[in-house]
Amino acid sequence: MSIPKESFGTRNSWFDIFRGHYLEKDAIWLEAVQGLASARDRMKQIAANNPGPYFVYCCGDQLVLGIENTEKSLGRRPSAKHATAGAP
């Protein structure tokens, strides 16, 4: 399911960008950006310059509205929860 770019909040709403996995408690807040499209673009820019997992979070709706992971896999096999269907 795809979430439309501006379906939550308004263009004037602020969205938080975090480094880390959204299910882990040790994610680090980086900055707040006004507008969902701008927050997603900024998250991708940060991830391109500093590889790793990132997400955009909306406090008002308590939802993760964007995820970007530019981490290098270093040849590791995917964990069971991230494996694709039919993969060994």
Distance of CA 13 to the CA centre of its chain: 17
pLDDT of residue 12: 73
Strands (E) across 22-86 are located at 28-34, 53-58, 63-69
Domain count along the chain: 1
Measured on CA atoms in the order 77, 75, 48, 54, is the torsion positive or negative? positive
31 located within any domain: yes
> Does 87 map to a domain?
no
The rounded distance, in Å, linking the Cα atoms of 56 and 63 is 9
Helix or strand holding residue 18 (H, E): strand 14-19
Rounded to two decimals, what is the model's pTM?
Answer: 0.71
**Residues lower than pLDDT 50 in the chain:** 1, 5-6, 74-88
* Mean residue pLDDT across the chain: 81
Domain enclosing residue 21, as ranges:
14-72
Report if residue 3 sits inside a domain: no
Please indicate, yes or no, if residue 83 is contained in any of the structural domains: no
